Amino acid sequence: MALRLAEAADAEIINADSMQLYRDLAVLTARPSAQDEARAPHHLFGTVDAVDGWSVGKWLRAAGELLARLTEAHRPVILVGGTGLYFRALTQGLAQVPPVPAAARRAAEADFDLMGESAFRGRLGAYDPAAAARISQGDRQRLVRAWEVYAATGTPLSDWQQTGEPVLASHTWRAVALEPPRERLYARIDARLEAMVAAGAVEEVAALISRNLDPDLPAMKAVGVREFAAYVRGETRLDEALTAAQRETRRYAKRQLTWLRGQMAGWPRLTAEAPEAQWRQFLALEPSLTPG
């Protein structure tokens, strides 16, 4: 969709996917191919080393600088990706949370390890219920972050996130969300993971884990890394790793759909599965792009 729109509108594409940033995971994150990138200018795809963990704030600064430069050059821009928090930061703003002392961070990490996720989430929910409800199961990094901010500042992270000026003013952008039938989406996820294995995803993961990076780095938490790493280490069979990666990807897709319905309820939806049908639905929303 983004490529076709870029060609129709003579636009440039900026990545808004937190994992497609990393050059180490071209296959596993379904990053655009060289042939795709030749069709339109692309930005922030595969530009970050896995050792350099980017936050939403760092991405927002980079994307904001690109947007300013391209706007000055009168270039249309398409932001595309699967990271809802990036889009929310662009359109609603990102708070400037005060620096958290290292001691508070260490205390939060120790509490998580001692209490376990369920009890830690329950405590967080007493002070920041929005964060406790929003953060996905197993996301230790964000749970710890939410608690350390509250512990250090006395203000819930969710409250901080309601402040800050958006990079994009409300009248300067239009949005659309792809929401195909869930059963077909899941089938395509399963088929795509099989294609990724054939294209070298396992070798990509093997190269990544051979670097012995901090397991809390964002790239190390990409869906599929943990599952295929278990195969690389000889802890499971390849078919079992593939099944586990497919399952986790379907769960991630379900969380994305939940985010879309909660955080982007007002965005128009494209519900078709086939690319041509999606494009027809899009043109019904943007008839100015129809040839002639």
CATH assignment of the domain containing 192:
3.40.50.300
For 220, residues 6+ apart whose C-beta sits below 8 A from its C-beta are 50, 208, 213, 214
Mean pLDDT of 246-263: 91
- The domain that contains 125 carries what CATH number? 1.10.20.140
Same domain, 131 and 245: no
Q: How far apart are CA 87 and CA 16, in angstroms?
A: 7
Same domain, 205 and 269: yes
Q: Which residue has the tokens 């009168």?
A: 74
For 120, residues 6+ apart whose C-beta sits below 8 A from its C-beta are 111, 112, 143, 147
Give the ranges where the chain is alpha helix by DSSP (H). Answer: 2-9, 34-37, 56-72, 84-92, 102-115, 117-127, 129-134, 140-153, 157-160, 182-199, 201-209, 225-232, 238-263, 275-285
Same domain, 108 and 69: no
- Classify residue 230 as exposed, middle or buried by CB count within 10 Å of its CB (0-12, 13-18, 19+): middle
Residue of higher predicted confidence among 130 and 20: 20
Same domain, 38 and 175: yes
In DSSP terms, which residues pair with 42 in a beta bridge? 13
Domain boundary pick from 160, 176, 191:
160
Same domain, 139 and 196: no
pLDDT of 253 strictly over 70: yes
Q: How far apart are CA 202 and CA 195, in angstroms?
A: 11
- 290 band by pLDDT with thresholds 50, 70 and 90: confident
Mean pLDDT of 72-94: 91
Same domain, 176 and 229: yes
Same domain, 181 and 77: yes
Q: Give buried/exposed letters for 133-150 (b at 16+ CB in 10 A, else e).
A: ebbeeebbbebbbbbbbb
Q: Is 33 left (phi over 0), alpha (psi -120 to 50) or beta?
A: beta
Residue of higher predicted confidence among 250 and 55: 250
Same domain, 136 and 237: no
With contact defined as beta carbons under 8 Å apart, do 238 and 231 qualify? yes
Query: In the chain, what percentage of residues exceed pLDDT 90?
Result: 72
- 6 band by pLDDT with thresholds 50, 70 and 90: very high
Same domain, 29 and 133: no
Mean pLDDT of 135-139: 86
Q: How far apart are CA 226 and CA 97, in angstroms?
A: 31
Domain boundary pick from 138, 160, 182:
160
pLDDT at 176: 94
Q: How far apart are CA 91 and CA 109, in angstroms?
A: 31
Domain boundary pick from 118, 137, 160:
160
pLDDT of 162 strictly over 70: no
Q: How far is CA 108 from CA 3, 112, 123, 236, 261, in A?
A: 43, 6, 12, 33, 31
Same domain, 184 and 284: yes
pLDDT of 164 strictly over 90: no
Provide φ and ψ at 40, rounded to 5°.
-160, 155
Nearest to 155 by CA among 95, 230, 88, 229: 95
pLDDT at 4: 94
Q: At what angle do helices 2-9 and 275-285 cross, to 10 degrees?
A: 50
Same domain, 108 and 198: no
Write out the residue range of the structural domain in which residue 141 sits.
102-160
Beta-strand relationship, 77-80 and 42-43: unpaired
Total domains in the chain come to: 2
- What's the chain's average pLDDT? 92
Q: How far apart are CA 220 and CA 229, in angstroms?
A: 10
Lowest model confidence (mean pLDDT) among 55-64, 69-78, 109-118:
55-64
Mean pLDDT of 106-120: 95
Count CB-CB contacts under 10 A for residue 220: 21
pLDDT at 261: 87
Same domain, 127 and 191: no
Mean pLDDT of 75-94: 90
pLDDT of 49 strictly over 90: yes
